[in-house]
A and B are shown apart, each in its own frame.
Chain A
Amino acid sequence: MNRTSPKVGNVPPPLRFALVLCFMLAFPLPGGAQETVCLQCHSAQTGPGSKAVKPWQASIHAENGISCHDCHGGDPKDAANAMSPARGFLGVPKETDVPAFCGRCHVGIRDDYLQSAHGRALGKGGPTCVTCHGAHDIKKVTLDLINEKSCSRCHPYERAANIKAAMEKTERLIVAIEERLARFKGEGVDTEATDKSLFALRNTYHRLFHEVNTARVTNESAKLQGELGKLDQTLQKIDEQRAKRKIAGAFVVAAALVAALLFHLLRKTCD
């Protein structure tokens, strides 16, 4: 008989809940990611094999449930054969294979990269995906990725700075529209059509991230800003409609209060 179980059973629910909560906070598993044998083994290692685990746990991949085997292949449920090529294990790609490795999922971005000056320099000292994005600590892409420290490892920052400046306004517009949409969603507004339009525009914007032609980036950014402006106007109309509702509401509430006053005065005349 298990001697500990009656004791556990006697722990009051609030305390039990607190213990479970503490355990979960102390050993968090990134949202959506499965606990695989890859993580079990590599977390326990002390050498280079463990280096990928923590950066991955803080990555956008972990947040979206993309685990080790999704990129490196292998069997995440069978420790003995987890790294067997027969089970599709790919291991670490060679430098020139990195764009194809990541491009299995990020198809459009791979094509953009390969067409850019960065991609054309692949294997000739040019950067691969991991040069800028990192191998495991991949973060949600923002314009902060274009920065002097990172870019000037290979070339002067000036052109990159111009590209970043052209894209910053687009980024601000997208973020503002996203925030507005999130607010509207929480108030029951049907945002489906606007969501779809923003999704398409955001994708177009993201495809500019690998473009190094300043003139093209400037032109495309201007077009995107025009389209985003139209979306912004659509949302502005919703805001205006809501403001009108509040004005109407103020009249209705005032009318109810006036009616209350009149009824009260009328009641006084009966005394």
Chain B
Amino acid sequence: MNLAKRIYTWVDVRIGAGALVEKELTGYLLPTNINVWYSMGSILLFIFAMQVVTGMLLLIYYVPDADKAFKSVTFIMNEVPFGWLIRMCHAVGSNMMVLILLFHMLSVLFMGSYKSPREMNWLSGFILLNLVMGISLTGYLLPWSQLSFWATTVATNSVGAVPVVGPYLVEFLRGGKLVGPPTLGRFFALHVAVIPITIAALVGAHIFFLQRTGVSTPPFGLQETTNRWLGDRYRYESHPGGIPFFPHYALQDLTSIAVYCALFLGVVFFDPYIFFPATAFVPADPFQTPAHIKPEWYFLPNYQTLKLFPSEFLGIAVQGAAMTFLALLPFIDRGQEKHPLKRPLFLACAIGGIVLYIALMIWGHYS
């Protein structure tokens, strides 16, 4: 017996690695008709890890002080070796995380994977989407640029439309009447501690739910596409005769991650400025409002919706209702059919919703 084999046996006897690998990797079977959309979750895990690593590296030089924040970011971009790369990876990565999360959510929607017994998977994923939006919003302020300052002013202002407690909420978020140094302190704490820890915990819960119920069978390429799980008792959705997670689907995950990396690095190296208007590189000036302040692309539909309604409250109420509907979708849509083409009402609503979302985004951009 060679040395490597002996070490493996020694470890295996003590921790049961072989059984663990068999159960969770090589013996973990997935549906034979699994498709590339199932690797979105792995890409998201990879992005989250990248965000954590680049964020930690940025923390070495970033100073969360209103007088020093902008200069520290400029220093990172211009003086720190590969600082520009780390910062661009972090900033572009945050946009990509939202984009891939939306793709992940859409694939789950169209394949009916949110249906019983996966309500908790959907709900935890939906909360994760909101947390990712929150971490992006709080991170936006940290460079303390004109864009950061005024976009945060607009974003926090809209909370003021909530009846009765609105003005108090705005003051609580900002740490004062206006966006200022206390806001930076609050957003920094949320961005580097509170929200990442919550995201990590929820990612853990999301994966736990996935492990407990098993991977859903995609409705494509099958004759029978009905969801037979009634939710009356616990059942693990196994896939006898399916393909092993390792190495088969792990390689698909790696392929998807590599393709994502090519796209992501293409943006980082060739045109990261699609996510940075010129005001992103001008220090914050509370006395000079820039001519056109727009939120990030993923907040544009919300921004445009607020402008469409005669009162901000109505705009927020409509968005709140839409978000609540989406969060509770698995509890509302109890139909057993999973194939999108056999769900015409769902298909019409989903496509209509996507078109509306994109239209509002474009309108918000050009308005």
Q: Are A270 and B276 in contact (CB under 8 A)?
A: no
A245→B255 contact, CB < 8 A:
no
Q: At the interface, yes or no: A14 with Cβ under 8 Å from chain B?
A: yes
B265 touches A185 (CB 8 A): no
Q: Inside 8 A of B266's CB, which chain A residues have their CB?
A: 249, 253
Residue of A with least CB distance to B281? A188
Q: Is B362 an interface residue (CB 8 A)?
A: no
Interchain CB contact under 8 A, B310 and A13 = yes
A144 part of interface (Cβ distance < 8 Å) = no
Contact B278–A186 (Cβ < 8 Å) = yes
Q: Does A248 contact B (CB under 8 A)?
A: yes
B319 beta carbon closer than 8 Å to chain A:
no
Contact size range, A: 20 to 34
Neighbour of B270 across the interface among A13, A249, A259, CB < 8 A? A249
Residue-wise, chain B 77-116 has the 8 Å CB interface mask toward A (1 for contact) of 1110000100000000000000000000000000000000
Chain B residues touching A, range? 20 to 34
Stretch of A80-88, A132-140, A159-167, A260-268 at the chain-chain interface: A260-268
Let me know if A256 and B262 touch, CB within 8 A: yes
Q: Is the CB–CB distance between B247 and A270 below 8 Å?
A: yes
User: Are B308 and A256 touching (Cβ within 8 A)?
Assistant: no
B342 at interface, CB cutoff 8 A: no
Q: Is the CB of A257 within 8 A of B262?
A: yes
Please determine whether A263 and B258 come into contact, CB atoms closer than 8 angstroms.
yes
A267 touches B252 (CB 8 A): yes
Assess whether A252 is in contact with B273, with CB atoms less than 8 Å apart: no
B261 and A190 contact, CB distance less than 8 A: no
Bound form: Cα–Cα A32–B54 in Å: 41
Given contacts A14-B307, A245-B269, A252-B265, contact A188 B258 (CB under 8 A): no
A12 — which chain B residues lie within 8 A by C-beta?
Answer: 310
Interface centre among A185, A188, A190, A259 (most CB of B within 10 A): A188
CA distance A189 to B79 in the complex (A): 10
- Whether the Cβ atoms of B248 and A253 lie closer than 8 Å is no
CB of A267 within 8 A of CB of B248, answer yes
Chain B residues positioned under 8 Å from A245 (CB to CB): 269
CA distance A252 to B269 in the complex (A): 9
- Cβ of A253: which chain B residues have Cβ within 8 Å of it? 262, 265-266, 269
Q: Known contacts A12-B310, A14-B307; is A186 also within 8 Å of B247 by CB?
A: no
A interface residues with partner B (beta carbon < 8 Å): 12-14, 185-190, 245-246, 248-250, 252-253, 256-257, 259-260, 263-264, 266-267, 270-271
7 nearest A-B pairs in the assembled complex, by CB-CB distance: A249-B269, A260-B258, A267-B251, A256-B262, A186-B278, A190-B78, A263-B255
Could you give 13 example pairs across A and B, Cβ below 8 Å?
A185-B282, A187-B281, A188-B78, A190-B75, A246-B269, A249-B265, A250-B269, A257-B259, A266-B247, A266-B251, A267-B248, A267-B252, A270-B247
B positions within 8 Å CB-CB of A: 74-75, 77-79, 84, 243, 247-248, 251-252, 254-255, 258-259, 261-262, 265-266, 268-270, 273, 276, 278, 280-282, 307-310
